[in-house]
């Protein structure tokens, strides 16, 4: 079975709240992180029954356009996520 045979049928979004073992200070991007973090998680379902899950900070409105696309249109095993769908990895 190829990636082109997998069509995205559903994308679920939820947030995951995590607690750090200690206070997290500044990094190069943002100020103090504190003791907790919130991540936006996506669960992507295909018509073949496959499910992928990962972190993506892309706005909800910008990801639902991928429903109906084949996974092969968005991901190339040789290079990873294609440029057009790169913000899904952000």
Residue 67 confidence (pLDDT): 95
Q: Strand 51-55 to strand 80-81: parallel, antiparallel, or no bridges (unpaired)?
A: unpaired
> Residue 90: its pLDDT value, please?
67
Residue 25: its pLDDT value, please?
84
Which segments of the chain have a pLDDT < 50?
A: none
In whole angstroms, what is the distance from residue 5 CA to residue 60 CA?
A: 25
Interatomic CA distance for residues 38 and 47, integer angstroms: 30
Distance CA 78, CA 82 (A): 10
Cα 49 from Cα 20, distance rounded (Å): 34
Model pLDDT, residue 31: 80
Pull the structure tokens for residue 12: 């679920």
Domains (range + CATH), the chain: 3-89 (3.30.390.10)
């Amino acid at each position: 079975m190829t990636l082109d045979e997998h069509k995205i049928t559903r994308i679920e979004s939820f947030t995951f709240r995590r607690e750090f073992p200690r206070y997290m200070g500044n990094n190069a991007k943002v100020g103090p992180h504190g003791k907790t973090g919130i991540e936006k998680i996506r669960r992507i379902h295909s018509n073949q029954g496959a499910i992928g899950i990962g972190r993506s900070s892309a706005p909800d409105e910008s990801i639902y356009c991928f429903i109906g696309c084949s996974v092969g249109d968005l991901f190339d095993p040789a290079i990873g996520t294609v440029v057009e769908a790169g913000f899904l990895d952000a």
